[in-house]
Amino acid sequence: MKSALVVLLLAASAFAQDPGAVATAESACGPRTIRFDVKPDAAQHPTAQPEPGKALVYVVEDLGECPGCIVSSSFGGFFNSVDNAVTKIGMDGTWMGANRGSSYIFFAAEAGEHHLCMNWQSRLQERARAFAMANFTAEEGKVYYFRERVFPGHSGDYVFELDPVNSDEGKYLIALSPASVSHPKK
């Protein structure tokens, strides 16, 4: 009986996935083949003002504390090695850059609706399939802040979050973090 229930649940979850909907959501990302070289630069702490006619978007990777999470030593050790925590940030189908460890990137956005994507840059297929999405409507002259986080999930997987934060929280996170300097690998 238990075996039949497990098979039924697995079959139901397989049918529940909608490849078209997944492809539409992932269209906010850039091409899967693009990989970044990333260096956090604590000496550089650029701040910017929006260009005329545009908005400015900051995305901060926050690998801080996880209230209520049970973090194993292997998970904590994994993220203490910043070489392993590279996340790519995409907007409207183009990779805008990447973060490594607790760091931030920023970029300009035209006024209008935009779709953001966060994807773990990893050679391991199960990690490279991890995404988080967010959307926003940019207004000329405004600054938008997003926080990306990775939490331990069940059975060794991870949960990604990409959430807007208010300007006070965004400025605080940026003040605590180095800027990420990222370039697509050739």
Kindly report the CATH number assigned to the domain that includes residue 144.
2.60.40.2890
The answer as to whether 43 is a domain residue is yes
pLDDT value, residue 157: 72
pLDDT value, residue 8: 35
The answer as to whether 19 is a domain residue is no
Task: Tell me which residue range forms the domain holding 103.
Answer: 25-184
pLDDT value, residue 4: 42
Tens digit of pLDDT at every position of the chain (186 positions):
444 433 333 444 444 567 666 666 678 899 988 999 999 888 877 777 899 999 999 999 987 655 555 444 444 444 444 345 789 999 999 999 999 988 999 999 999 999 999 998 877 766 667 789 999 999 999 999 999 998 777 766 777 899 999 999 999 999 999 999 999 998
Please check whether residue 133 is in contact with residue 161, taking contact to mean a CB–CB distance below 8 angstroms: no
Domain count, the chain: 1
The answer as to whether 144 is a domain residue is yes
pLDDT value, residue 3: 44
The answer as to whether 5 is a domain residue is no
Among 67, 66, 64, which residue's Cα sits nearest to residue 80?
Answer: 64
Structure tokens at 76: 């904590």
The answer as to whether 3 is a domain residue is no
Which pTM does this prediction carry? Answer: 0.79
pLDDT value, residue 128: 65
The answer as to whether 171 is a domain residue is yes
The answer as to whether 101 is a domain residue is yes
pLDDT value, residue 170: 95
The answer as to whether 136 is a domain residue is yes
